[in-house]
Amino acid sequence: AKQAGRNRFCFFEQSMNQRVHEHLLVLQGIDQALAEHQLFLEYQPVFDLQRDVISGAEALVRWRHPRQGLVSPASFIPIVEESDRIEALTLWVLTQACRDLRDRILPRAPGFKLSLNVSGVALQSDSLRDRVLETLSREGVSPASLRLEITETTMMRDIEKSAETLKLWQQAGLRILIDDFGTGYSSLSYLTSLPIDGLKIDRSFISQLQQSSQGPVVDAILALSRTLGIETIAEGIETQEQLQLLRQMRASHGQGYLLGRPMPVSQLRTLLEHPQPL
Ligand code: C2E
Ligand code: CA
Ligand code: CA
Ligand code: CA
């Protein structure tokens, strides 16, 4: 028993060490990543499901770490979010996305809408609130071309502060989408208290669409959005059946591996020039 207890302790200690180690690697590396071009963006197309055309894309950040290789944003973003570096990262993504949009995307597709992920933690920062708008005017990109995706969970940390920032951005012409809609705790209450232009229906609902129980939920979210006059994007569409069901439910927009994986901007440009039938 003593032996087992000791092993468990060692295991615990080791995993704690690993986690601390991972945190340190990220926090020590992120400044260098920003300075030395280790970060880059990929774009996942968003489709207008009624007209069968690409209407926009979501920018997703990637980190090519010199020793760890490609690091997933799902593992490093939550760590950066706990530090003040999230602001620098958010502005880097915004600047890079604006330049790709202005120089490489909008000339081919004038009505294109680019979505960016903004951490709710960053919403709490006064300086970020202003610097987002400053960046847009400096880069010469109209706010109307951009959508900001914000997850409900991170926004709830200080709902009043979040609402203030979002209202300012919305007044400037940016559109605000709730990301991973349906996975948080009080999804419905803030639909009326926050300035929201659209919902992204979380992948967990779409992946279970065929298994009857989630069908009515997705249907209800779509009906709610129509009533509120906001747009919806169904995330994580992987199969033809899911796509067909969403079409039957009159979903307006969709995104997922079936329609297109995250890709470099050059590939997105090719896709815009030579659209593939769905
Ligand atoms: P998210 O915003 O929910 O992004 C969607 C994630 O689902 C992306 O993973 C995307 O590659 C993946 N995905 C898209 N279609 C499918 C599908 O059909 N099936 C499956 N299984 N997955 C699909 P990724 O790129 O690893 O990003 C993970 C998360 O990291 C994002 O979740 C977002 O929360 C965060 N993130 C990514 N880029 C940024 C960024 O620039 N800033 C911030 N703050 N967060 C970011
Ligand atoms: Ca997102
Ligand atoms: Ca999402
Ligand atoms: Ca997510």
- pLDDT tens for each residue of 136-163: 999 999 999 999 999 877 777 788 888 9
CA 247 to ligand 4 centroid distance, Å: 23
For residue 254, the CA-to-ligand 4 centroid distance in Å is 15
Write down the pLDDT at residue 2.
Answer: 44
Copy the structure tokens of residue 11: 């295991």
CA of 150 to the centre of ligand 2 (A): 7
Helices (H), the chain: 2-35, 73-81, 85-100, 126-139, 152-155, 159-171, 190-193, 203-207, 214-228, 240-248, 265-273
| Residue keyed to tokens 């067909």 | 244
CA distance 20 to 24: 6
**Sequence-ordered list of residues with C-beta below 8 angstroms from that of 15, at least 6 positions apart, any chain:** none
Which of 104-108, 152-156, 169-173 comes out lowest in average pLDDT?
152-156
- Do 144 and 86 form a contact (C-beta atoms < 8 A)? no
Q: pTM value? A: 0.93
Position in ligand 1 atom list of the atom nearest CA 180: 3
ipTM: 0.97
* Residue with CA closest to ligand 1 atom 20: 236
Residues with C-beta less than 6 Å from any ligand 1 atom: 44, 60-61, 72-74, 77, 93, 117-119, 149, 179-180, 203, 236-238, 256-257, 262
Distance 60 CA to ligand 1 centre (A): 6
pLDDT at 272: 95
If you average pLDDT over residues 267-275, what whole number do you get?
93
CB-proximal residues (5 Å) to ion ligand 2: 117, 149, 179
Question: Which residue's alpha carbon is nearest to atom 28 within ligand 1?
Answer: 74
pLDDT digits (tens, 9 = 90+) for 203-228: 999 998 887 777 889 999 999 999 99
Across 19-33, 49-63, 184-198, 212-226, least confident range = 184-198
Question: With contact defined as beta carbons under 8 Å apart, do 208 and 237 qualify?
Answer: no
Nearest-ligand number for the alpha carbon of 148: 2
CA-closest candidate to residue 166, choices 195, 192, 125 = 195
Q: Parallel, antiparallel, or unpaired: how do β-strands 253-254 and 198-201 relate? A: unpaired
